[in-house]
Amino acid sequence: MVTPAYEDRGLFKKPPTELTVNLIPKFGKNSRQDIIIKGLVANGVEVDVIFAGRRKKNAVELVTLLRHMWENATIYGPKGARAPKRRDVRLPTRVQGSWRTRIVEDDEEWYEREYQLLVARWAFKSEDGEFHSYGEPPFPEQSLAKVSGEG
């Protein structure tokens, strides 16, 4: 059995950071069935936002909401207006997680750096304005808080 401590040691190898990411309706899964949602950070840089391990079951709600927002933008948008781009539909989400980079080869055989944000906790407002919060701090952080008397 995979314990939360073991899982988090594998996922969160760098110190956690907090930021707001604008999630957009571009999503999928990797070979481990982790949920990957594209997000926009500072200067419109697109990153992979990854919900892995035990946290992915709660991320399904984000996928459902983003899919609904995309359908509303494309089906019920103003008649005669240009079709929206996926980057136009955004869900601001407060995220705590760790960054990692991957080196990938592009179509022209150049290497480029790709950024991924592994998510531990996240919060957002639904379409009806209700606040939702999921996840938990990375396990090593929980252990440190207990040792220092914070938890």
- The domain segmentation of the chain, as residue ranges, is 4-147
Picking from 142, 148, 113, 149, the residue whose alpha carbon sits closest to that of residue 8 is 142
Predicted pLDDT of residue 131: 95
Predicted pLDDT of residue 5: 86
What is the distance between the alpha carbons of residues 124 and 151, in angstroms, rounded to a whole number? 24
Specify the pairing of strand 46-51 against strand 131-135.
unpaired
Radius of gyration of the chain (CA): 17
What is the distance between the alpha carbons of residues 116 and 38, in angstroms, rounded to a whole number? 9
Please, are residues 116 and 48 in contact by the beta-carbon 8 Å criterion? yes
Rounded to an integer, the average pLDDT of 68-96 is 90
Predicted pLDDT of residue 132: 96
Query: Which structure tokens are listed for 130?
Result: 């209700």
Predicted pLDDT of residue 140: 59
Confidence tier at 144 by pLDDT (50, 70, 90): very low
Tens-digit pLDDT profile for residues 38-67? 999 998 999 999 999 889 999 999 999 999
Classify domain 4-147 at the CATH superfamily level. Answer: Nucleic acid-binding proteins (2.40.50.140)
Is residue 143's pLDDT more than 50?
no
Query: Which structure tokens are listed for 85?
Result: 């781009």
Rounded to an integer, the average pLDDT of 106-134 is 91
Predicted pLDDT of residue 23: 98
Is residue 77's pLDDT more than 80?
no
Question: Looking at 30-72, which runs of residues are DSSP E strands?
Answer: 35-40, 46-51
Is residue 126's pLDDT more than 60?
yes
Predicted pLDDT of residue 24: 98
Is residue 82's pLDDT more than 70?
yes
Query: Which structure tokens are listed for 129?
Result: 């304005």
